[in-house]
Amino acid sequence: MTAREDHDIVVAGGGPAGCALATLLQREGHRCLVLEASTFPRYHIGESLIPHTHGTLSRLGLLEALRRSTYPVKHSVRFVSPAGSSSDPFYFSETIEGEGSRTWQVERSSFDALCVDHARASGVDVRMNAPIERVHFDGDRAVGVTVRPAPRESYDVAAKVVVDATGRRTLIGDQLGLKAPVPGLLKGSLWSYYRGGARLEGIDAGETTVFLLRGGGWFWYIPLPEDIVSVGVVDDPQRLFQEGLSPEASYDAQVAACEPLAARLTQAERNDRVRGLRELAYRNRRMAGDGWVMIGDAAAFLDPIYSSGLYLALGSAELAAESIHDALQVDDPSSTRLGAHLDLLGEGVAVIEKLIRAFYTPGFSFRRFVERHPEHRAALIDCLVGDVIGKKMTAFTNALDDMLSAAARN
Ligand SMILES: Cc1cc2nc3c(=O)[nH]c(=O)nc-3n(C[C@H](O)[C@H](O)[C@H](O)COP(=O)(O)OP(=O)(O)OC[C@H]3O[C@@H](n4cnc5c(N)ncnc54)[C@H](O)[C@@H]3O)c2cc1C
């Protein structure tokens, strides 16, 4: 590969994961280049943060901007049954003290632009309209990328480490054939936005409300700035994407059929088109190799039920930044060093995956689980706020397994 320029680290994708990683590594003195395919601000789904993003956002230096923002403050999550009965709100302050017990519902176009601006202010070279066409390998080792910025000519960039932060595009996963579906998690989604949806009062005004549907699906209801609400349904793709039914017609029918949700929208008007994804879940069989590592959605995405996407994007970026820094300190960007954090991350993700599968298991209920195992209530709450990385949760997950097996037998 004859490169036009070279950098320590080339990051493919300027979303929250890519920008967080580049910001942290640039501060450590590594020369980072972020290549982003689109031009910001750009639309993105995934608006609800969970409290345990607080640590990474604080270390990045983004908290002050979030405090000044008009993003609704999220103190809690609430579940509403198909018949309309509402659980008590689950307030994060039950287990977390201080400012870390609340978080934000972010409009992604401005939040992601904030992450880019912050990376640039930290010295990162961020280029828009710079889609990476492919990653170059010398044998098994990633050595750089080809960028094709339309309508200009393509060029090559060499790097000691290539980071795949391309989100669902999964650049390296596709190129190396590593991407695979996740058996048992076959869900799709349709979503849109309303102006004028009803808001709750006081500290509940910024909550995420989850409306449960008969048959295992659910809606999110996420208040955003300027009187906008994000409303999306997650369910069996066969139900959401029926032949002869447009995504709009399918979405509108699902909203109308969910009476407790429709009641919140009586004064509201849908003010955007309906977007959708037929298959939400996937993961890569490997997430690091010689000279490369994947972070955020480029590595895996499971399900949005616990709003863990941005938490894992930022968390995996921070952990990978440490691995890359350590590898470059000893001039050894090998698979072992670049993936040094993956076991720790994988253990945390496995706990989240177990909870996701529990949510979709017919006959399983978290209320009954906590009634039978009050000693595990705190661990369950830790999972819901995202406090799962680096925690020993074997007793909790064993108890969960027992109840899931019992639910499967009945
Ligand atoms: C239906 C749904 C609902 C969700 N709800 C939530 C939620 O409520 N809360 C939550 O935390 N998460 C949610 N998520 C997940 C969340 O959207 C993602 O986890 C998060 O955006 C991942 O961030 P990222 O930086 O890894 O990837 P992204 O934010 O996707 O950023 C990747 C970037 O890479 C760029 N790119 C792609 N290909 C290339 C290329 N070849 N070259 C250069 N650049 C490239 C893209 O343009 C993009 O800007 C949801 C996801 C879905 C599907």
Spans of all domains in the chain? 5-63+107-181+282-344, 73-105+186-277, 361-409
Given a cut of 80, is residue 177 above it in pLDDT?
yes
Helix ranges (DSSP H) in 11-161: 16-27, 54-60, 63-68, 108-121
pLDDT band at 2; cut points 50, 70, 90 = confident
β partners of residue 33: 10, 125
**Mean pLDDT, range 88-98, rounded to an integer:** 88
Report the chain's mean pLDDT, rounded to a whole number: 95
Ligand 1 mean position to 331 CA, how many Å?
31
Q: Which residues line ligand 1 (CB under 6 A)?
A: 12-18, 35-38, 44-48, 131-132, 165-169, 171, 189, 191, 232, 277, 280, 296-298, 304, 307, 309-311, 313
Ligand 1 mean position to 291 CA, how many Å?
23
**Topology of domain 5-63+107-181+282-344, per CATH?**
FAD/NAD(P)-binding domain (3.50.50)
What is the rounded CA–CA span in Å between residue 209 and residue 75?
11
**Topology of domain 73-105+186-277, per CATH?**
D-Amino Acid Oxidase; Chain A, domain 2 (3.30.9)
Ligand 1 mean position to 243 CA, how many Å?
28
Which two tokens mark 74? 């999220």
**Mean pLDDT, range 324-348, rounded to an integer:** 97
pLDDT band at 220; cut points 50, 70, 90 = very high
Q: What SS3 class is residue 259?
A: helix
What is the rounded CA–CA span in Å between residue 40 and residue 110?
9
5-63+107-181+282-344 and 73-105+186-277: identical CATH topology: no
What is the rounded CA–CA span in Å between residue 300 and residue 168?
8
What is the rounded CA–CA span in Å between residue 344 and residue 302?
18
**Mean pLDDT, range 270-282, rounded to an integer:** 98
**Mean pLDDT, range 26-53, rounded to an integer:** 97
